[in-house]
Amino acid sequence: MRGGADAFLLREKALEGRALLELATAARTITRAHGAKLLVSDRFDVALAAEADGVHLPETGFDPRDVRAQSGKRLLIGRSVHDAGGARKAGAAGADYLMLGPVFSTPGKNPLGPGAAGEIARACSIPVTAVGGIDATRVEELGALGFRSFAVIRAIAGNVTATDTENAENAENSRDAARALATAIARATGRGEMP
């Protein structure tokens, strides 16, 4: 957050409900302090209880319509998609935004490629976030294709060099990596915001 990230996706598949809620509540305190959004992966019940801004659904997870029926307009609802068909289906189901990828190569996944990803994003009537193999050097190319928001893991977490995430050097590395991304996004898009 100190590096300029405007949203944080909490994705902890192995945590039980109570532990995930405690983590989400702590994350919410941090994101609020920085004026950023908190999204919780898959668990809309935890997102609601933690007063998160939204829930991010895997492509094979809950239908956005069902989540909307339970949460009303309290949550942004995002959906991961991997092709044009998935994007159309998620949009029709009422998702507020899509996360499309992987755009570039990531471990164990075949990339769409920036050209194909850009075509899918331009055909969508809702915001599309690019994900997969993105770092500060690739943002300009994706911005030119119409992307306005980007999700990363390795571009920031890859700068953590030890298992001790409280380590001051790790915090500085992550902050600097986020700052480089935020700068590249602002330069390439003029905004780089979540919906």
pLDDT band at residue 170 using 50, 70 and 90 as cut-offs: confident
DSSP string, 165-180: TT-HHHHHHHHHHHHH
Q: Confidence band (pLDDT; 50, 70, 90) for 166?
A: low
Residue 194 lies in a domain: no
Give the number of other CB atoms < 10 A from CB of residue 23.
Answer: 16
Task: Please check whether residue 55 lies inside any domain of the structure.
Answer: yes
In a domain, 155, yes or no: yes
Establish if 54 belongs to a structural domain: yes
Q: What is the CATH number of the domain that holds 58?
A: 3.20.20.70
Q: Give how many domains the chain has, as a whole number.
A: 1
Average pLDDT taken over every residue of the chain:
92
> Which DSSP string corresponds to 21-72?
HHHHHHHHHHHHHTT-EEEEES-HHHHHHTT-SEEEE-TTS--HHHHHHHHT
Q: Flag whether 21 is in a domain.
A: yes
In a domain, 61, yes or no: yes
pLDDT, tens digit, for every residue of 32-88? 999 999 999 999 999 999 999 999 999 999 999 999 999 999 999 999 999 999 999
Confidence of residue 97 (pLDDT cuts 50, 70, 90): very high
State the pLDDT confidence band at 159, using cuts at 50, 70 and 90.
Answer: low
Taking the CB of residue 92, how many other CB atoms lie within 10 A of it?
A: 11
Residue-range definition of the domain harbouring residue 102: 7-189
In a domain, 88, yes or no: yes
Residue 2 lies in a domain: no
For helices 84-92 and 114-123, angle between their N-to-C axes, nearest 10 degrees = 30
Phi, psi of 23 (to 5 degrees): -65, -45
- For residue 107, name the pLDDT band (cuts at 50, 70, 90): confident
Contact 84, 120 (CB under 8 A): yes
